[in-house]
Structure 1
Amino acid sequence: MIDYIVRSTKLPKTNIKSTIQLLNEDCTIPFISRYRKEATGNLDEVQIGEIVKYKEQFEALEKRKQAILKALEEQDVLTEELKQKIEQTQDLTTLEDLYLPYKKKRKTKAETARKNGLEPLAKIIMSQKANDIESIAYKYAKGDIASPDDALEGARHIIAEWINERADIRNLLRNQLERHAQISTKVVKAKKDEDKAQKFRDYFDWSESLSRIPSHRLLAILRAENEGFIRVKIEIDAIRALELMDNRIIRSQNSCADQIELAISDAYKRLLFPSLSNETLSKAKDKADEAAITVFAKNLKQLLLGSPIGEKRVLAIDPGFRTGCKIVCLDAQGNLKHNETIYPHAPKNDSIGAIKKISSLAEAYKIEAIAIGNGTASRETEALIRKIQFKNEIQVFVVSEAGASIYSASKIAREEFPNYDVTVRGSVSIGRRLQDPLAELVKIDAQSIGVGQYQHDVDQTKLQKQLDTVVENCVNAVGVNINSASTPLLSYVSGIGPKLAENIFNYRTENGVFKSRKDILKVPRLGGKAFEQSAAFLRIKGAKNPLDDSAVHPERYAIVKQMAKDEGVSLQELIGNKTKLQNIDLKHYVSDSIGLLTLQDIIKELEKPGLDIRETAKVFTFNQNIKTITDLHEGQLLPGIVNNITNFGCFVDVGIKESGLIHVSNLSDSFVKDVNEHVHLHQQIIVKVLEVDVARKRIQLKLHK
């Protein structure tokens, strides 16, 4: 396993070995990357994640090997040579090729030919020594075989199956497909004029190299095929492929060679090409899935680590026209204090009443910030808010609504607000997203947040696994206030999980707030291992021991206390004292149990204990003259917010319903390898309008430096 992971990751062998040992001891990725740096050689969570991935791949390969060996033993066909080949195989495709000749088959043409006694004839043909194979075939024309031609056809079916099962032939064709396959599409004429088909019209007649097609285009093509708008074909030069196969198999120029040539053609058309072209397309799809999942994961990380406004009192508005604007007032901890509906827009147009109501609520609940959802009627509501003369300064933010409706109808939302309907819950979610995006967004299925490309078309199991890892890493990077965190947020803390999160929440409800990290051990079923993995990620505000509100692990408290003693100050005086901390000779504290990397982390944390790694939210204002797509024209410079990133560019909200696209070619004057190196999610930027297609509702933008 270690060698397999070394080959796949190119990471040092000793570091991989130590990491696997820690994983086998039920340590989590966040814990290992943060608190076991000496053991891993300072590997980060991405590298440890790669080790986990290849460890699982290796285990799956070994499991498949054992299943195949067992099946071959039961068939009594397992030779020592075959067993050795299987055991030495490091690749699933090669393993399946080795097993293919022994796989139990459904009724095939070759199987029928064998039952009719044609295998000896097939062997004679494959020996390529007989000069008059037609005469020999007469002997086999009996029973169900009516003629020599039927006998030869049956023999060719057997030969075709042998050719199909040859690993060297399969690899030869794989190589041709991987290097030269073209993917082409044709529109289904009966569906060509349907409205839904128009978004795929670029692919009504398309052809491209499969090895070079960008991931987003392949996924779009496969979606169009799944929805029945186009037909997809994979093609290679069949004449060239057959020539290569002939050269590999045919060694004579007699009548046997003619039969083998026919068998090769049959094997290619009926068995090899259909199977291997599907395999190649499936591999291309896997690769495209991986690229799309990576994009989604990067976007999700940026979204989760979005800027919080912090513990401020918020008035949140879910805007609407006919149904009105749903308003909620939240205290600094996100608790719902008040809710009602106002109707400032058409058809009621009660803007005066709405302004009075918002003013009085802002004063009554000492509101410090207003969060407006970015859906229908968002711009109109923002314009209304900006007209109000508040007594105190109030910051106004437009907040993404993505997934708020999913949350409002979820079990979590019903449990939080059993006496309120979905509209109130949705408004609360908008307000809380401004206070702390991470704490709120973890309650929503990550796939519903809508910050990826083709996330519903990729392998859902792989996607879910990757997104769970991202959420876990983000939650643990920020840390969690154990006394205010929701059950979903607690469940992502290292070593906790859903059941212990529920136990923590219930314990807190019954016994009041946790006063120290030691109190965490009183939670039912939370044992020593869970405490070791989670304690440093759980923060306790205002604790007697200030280290309980820091990222310093409890196992290192004694060293910090020793440092304070050696410096002649109290623990409280040492924390935050940059001068004292930088004067400490860390080598003095290095031992078998703690190294320099961990000590450097401790000093860094003590300088700014509990510091939130996220930036503080900033107010942003769109161009107030731009209301719809028809207000845009070429050459305009506009403020915008990046609201989605893909491999082919990024989408930007310029304050209207439709988002504009900055294609990769318009992000920079030089080549763009990774869109994330130029922009990040929710970044405030200036864009230049290049093109506006009102009919297709498409806006082309350029990043203005």
Structure 2
Amino acid sequence: MLNFILKQANLPETSVKNTLALLAEDCTIPFIARYRKERTGNLDEVQIEQIVALKEQFETLEKRKKSIIKAIKEQGELTSDISAKIERTTNLTDLEDLYLPFKKKRKTKAETARKNGLEPLAKIIMSQNERDIESVAHRYTNKEVPTQESALEGARHIIAEWVNERTDIRTLIRKQLDRFAVISTKVVKAKKDDEKAQKFRDYFSWDESLHRCPSHRLLAILRAENEGFIRIKIEIDNERTLERIASKLIRSKGDCAEQIELAISDAYKRLLFPALSNETLVAAKKKADETAITIFAKNLKQLLLGSPLGEKRILAIDPGFRTGCKVVCLDKQGALLHNDTIFPHPPKSDLTGAINKISALTEKHNIEAIAIGNGTASRETEAFIKKIPFKNDIAIFIVSEAGASIYSASKIAREEFPNHDVTVRGAVSIGRRLADPLAELVKIDAKSIGVGQYQHDVDQSQLKNSLDRVVENCVNAVGVNINTASVPLLSYVSGIGPKLAENIVTYRDENGAFTSRNDIKKVPRLGAKAFEQGAGFLKIRNGKNPLDNSSVHPERYALVKQMAKDQGIKISELLGNIKALKNVPLNNYCTSEVGMPTLVDIIAELQKPGLDIREKAKVFSFNQSIKTIEDLKSGMLLPGIVNNITAFGCFVDIGVKESGLIHVSNLSDTFVKDVNEYVQLQQQITVKVLEVDIARKRIQLKLEK
């Protein structure tokens, strides 16, 4: 396994070896990355995830090797040479090619020809020594093979199967496909005028190099095909490829060469090209999936690490027209204090009643901020709220509703608010997202948050695994207040999981708040390993030990205590004491277990203990004169919020129903390799309107510095 990983990952051998050992000890990726830097050589989470992925790939390969060896052995065909070739194989494609001749096949033309006694004739043809092959073929005619031509045809079927099973020929065609494959599309005439097909009309007649086709375009083409609007073909220069195959097999001229040439053509058209072109398309789809999933993961990370407002008293509004605006009031911990409904918009238009109710609620509950969902009636509700003359200074925020409906109908929401309907739960979610996006968004399946295009078209298992890792990494990067965290949030903490998360909340409910990290050990079924993996990420505010609200792991408390003692002060006096911390001689504390990377982390944490790595939420306001797409004019400079990032650019909410697109070419005057280097999800930016297509509801924007 070690050699397999080292060949594919540009990482030091000791780092890989030690990481594998830590994984074997059931250590989690966040724990290894944060607290075992000396053993890994300071590998980050991405590098450790790469090792994990390669480890899983190796294990899958080894499992398949054992299965194949067993199958060939049961057929009595296993030789030392075949076994050695299988053992040397380092990828699944080559492994399956080796297994192909031994794979049990359904009834084939070649199998029928063998049963009819034509394999010897096929071998004679392949020897290319006979000048009059038709005379030879006559000897193989019988009741099932009545003519010379039928005998030759059967022999060619056997040769075609041999050609199909040759690994060198399959490799040759794969290389041709990898380099020269063209994907072309053609509209299904019966669907050409279908309204749903119009969004794919760019691909009604399209062709391009498959390996140059960007992820988003390939996924769009495949979706159009799946929905029955277009047909797809993969093409290469068939004549050139057939000539190259023939050069490997034909070494003479005459009848035998002619038969082999016919067999090659049959093998290529009937067996090789259909299978390998499909394999190439599947590989291209897999690559497109990986690219798209990487973008989704980056978007989700930015969303989860969005700016929290913190512990504030919040009034949240889920806007609506006909059904009204659902209003909830939350305390500093996000608990529901009151819910109501107002009708400031048509058809009821009870503006006065709505203003009076909002004013009364903000005063009664000492509201510090208002969160407004960004869905239907959002702009109108924001404008209405801004007309209210509040007694105190109340900040107004527009909050993304993505996935809120999923949460409000979920089991988690029903358990949290069994006596309230989905509209109340949705409004609560909007308010809590303002206070702490991460704590609220973890309650929703990451795939439902809406973090990119074509989410439903990529490999769903791979997408789930990737997004779950992002959530886990974000939760542990921020840390969790064990005394306020929900079960979903706690379940993502390193070493905890859903069952222990439930046990923690149950213990907290029955025994009151945790006052020290040592109290965590009292939670039923939370053993030493789980404590080791999770303790550093579980924080306790105002606890007995000030280090319990930091990312310093309990296993290093004695070390910090010694640092404080050597400085002649208490631990509490060391925290945030920049001058004292700068004077700590780190080299004096280096041991075989604790090296400079860990010591640097400890000092950084002691300088700002308990500091949230996320920026605080900022108030944002759209241009109030822009209400619809019809209000937009080329050249306008407008404030906007990035609400989606793709491989080809980003979409921006500028306060109208339709999001505008900043194409990669309009993000910078220089080449843009990664959109995320220029914008972040939920980032507040200024854009310039370049073009407005009202008919197609498309807005082209440019990023203004």
Q: What TM-score does the superposition give when structure 2 sets the normalisation length?
A: 1.00
Question: In the alignment, which residue of structure 2 is the partner of 1:60?
Answer: 60
Question: In the alignment, which residue of structure 2 is the partner of 1:598?
Answer: 598
Give the Å deviation of 1:192.
1.1
**Aligned with 2:370: secondary structure?**
strand
C-alpha RMSD of matched pairs (Å): 0.6
Question: In the alignment, which residue of structure 2 is the partner of 1:316?
Answer: 316
Amino acid at match of 2:333: Q
Check whether the contact 2:301–2:471 (CA below 8 A) recurs between aligned residues: yes
**Aligned with 1:211: secondary structure?**
helix
Check whether the contact 2:38–2:593 (CA below 8 A) recurs between aligned residues: no
Distance 1:423 1:364 in 2: 22
In the TM superposition, what are the counterparts of 1:71-82 in structure 2 within 5 Å?
A: 71-82=71-82
Question: In the alignment, which residue of structure 1 is the partner of 2:584?
Answer: 584
In the TM superposition, what are the counterparts of 1:116-131 in structure 2 within 5 Å?
A: 116-131=116-131
Distance 2:689 2:597 in 1: 49
**Aligned with 2:322: secondary structure?**
coil
Question: In the alignment, which residue of structure 2 is the partner of 1:205?
Answer: 205
Question: In the alignment, which residue of structure 2 is the partner of 1:340?
Answer: 340
Question: In the alignment, which residue of structure 1 is the partner of 2:223?
Answer: 223
Distance 2:506 2:543 in 1: 20
Question: In the alignment, which residue of structure 2 is the partner of 1:698?
Answer: 698
Give the Å deviation of 1:635.
1.0
Amino acid at match of 2:36: R
Per mean C-alpha deviation after superposition, the further-off stretch among 470-479 and 594-603 is: 594-603
**Aligned with 2:294: secondary structure?**
helix
Check whether the contact 1:405–1:426 (CA below 8 A) recurs between aligned residues: yes
Distance 2:593 2:235 in 1: 60
**Aligned with 2:212: secondary structure?**
coil
Question: In the alignment, which residue of structure 2 is the partner of 1:413?
Answer: 413
Question: In the alignment, which residue of structure 2 is the partner of 1:679?
Answer: 679
**Aligned with 2:612: secondary structure?**
coil
Distance 2:277 2:530 in 1: 48
Check whether the contact 1:295–1:453 (CA below 8 A) recurs between aligned residues: no
* Structure 2: gaps spanning 5 or more residues: none
Amino acid at match of 1:321: F
Distance 2:72 2:606 in 1: 61
Amino acid at match of 1:290: E
Distance 2:365 2:189 in 1: 61
Distance 1:507 1:263 in 2: 73
Check whether the contact 1:649–1:662 (CA below 8 A) recurs between aligned residues: yes
Instruction: Note if 1:448 corresponds to 2:481.
Output: no
Give the Å deviation of 1:453.
1.9
Question: In the alignment, which residue of structure 2 is the partner of 1:478?
Answer: 478
Per mean C-alpha deviation after superposition, the further-off stretch among 430-439 and 588-597 is: 588-597
Give the Å deviation of 1:696.
1.2
Question: In the alignment, which residue of structure 1 is the partner of 2:569?
Answer: 569
Amino acid at match of 1:384: F
Question: In the alignment, which residue of structure 1 is the partner of 2:384?
Answer: 384
**Aligned with 1:661: secondary structure?**
strand
Check whether the contact 1:2–1:17 (CA below 8 A) recurs between aligned residues: yes
Question: In the alignment, which residue of structure 2 is the partner of 1:430?
Answer: 430
Question: In the alignment, which residue of structure 2 is the partner of 1:32?
Answer: 32
Distance 1:143 1:119 in 2: 16
Amino acid at match of 2:270: R
Give the Å deviation of 1:451.
1.4
Q: What TM-score does the superposition give when structure 1 sets the normalisation length?
A: 1.00
Amino acid at match of 2:575: I
Check whether the contact 1:327–1:341 (CA below 8 A) recurs between aligned residues: yes
List per-residue Cα deviations over 1:463-505 (Å, max 9, x = no partner). Answer: 0000000000000000000000000000000000011001111
Distance 2:283 2:491 in 1: 34
Question: In the alignment, which residue of structure 1 is the partner of 2:488?
Answer: 488
Distance 2:280 2:566 in 1: 65
Question: In the alignment, which residue of structure 1 is the partner of 2:269?
Answer: 269
Check whether the contact 2:33–2:42 (CA below 8 A) recurs between aligned residues: yes
Give the Å deviation of 1:678.
0.6
Percentage of pairs with the same residue: 74
Check whether the contact 2:314–2:368 (CA below 8 A) recurs between aligned residues: yes
Amino acid at match of 2:534: S
Per mean C-alpha deviation after superposition, the further-off stretch among 312-321 and 588-597 is: 588-597
Check whether the contact 1:687–1:704 (CA below 8 A) recurs between aligned residues: yes
Give the Å deviation of 1:387.
0.5
Question: In the alignment, which residue of structure 1 is the partner of 2:153?
Answer: 153
Amino acid at match of 2:97: D
Aligned residues: 705
Distance 1:613 1:17 in 2: 31
Question: In the alignment, which residue of structure 2 is the partner of 1:329?
Answer: 329
Give the Å deviation of 1:508.
0.8
Question: In the alignment, which residue of structure 2 is the partner of 1:300?
Answer: 300
Question: In the alignment, which residue of structure 2 is the partner of 1:507?
Answer: 507
Amino acid at match of 2:342: I
In the TM superposition, what are the counterparts of 1:78-157 in structure 2 within 5 Å?
A: 78-157=78-157
Distance 2:193 2:486 in 1: 49
Distance 1:341 1:412 in 2: 23
Check whether the contact 2:688–2:703 (CA below 8 A) recurs between aligned residues: yes
Give the Å deviation of 1:668.
0.5
Amino acid at match of 1:106: R
Amino acid at match of 2:165: E
List per-residue Cα deviations over 1:440-468 (Å, max 9, x = no partner). Answer: 00001111111112111000011000000
**Aligned with 1:542: secondary structure?**
coil
Distance 1:695 1:502 in 2: 52
List per-residue Cα deviations over 1:567-600 (Å, max 9, x = no partner). Answer: 1111111111110011010111111221111111
Distance 1:44 1:297 in 2: 16
**Aligned with 2:67: secondary structure?**
helix
List per-residue Cα deviations over 1:415-444 (Å, max 9, x = no partner). Answer: 000000000000000000000000000001
Runs of 4+ in 1 over 3 A off after TM superposition: none
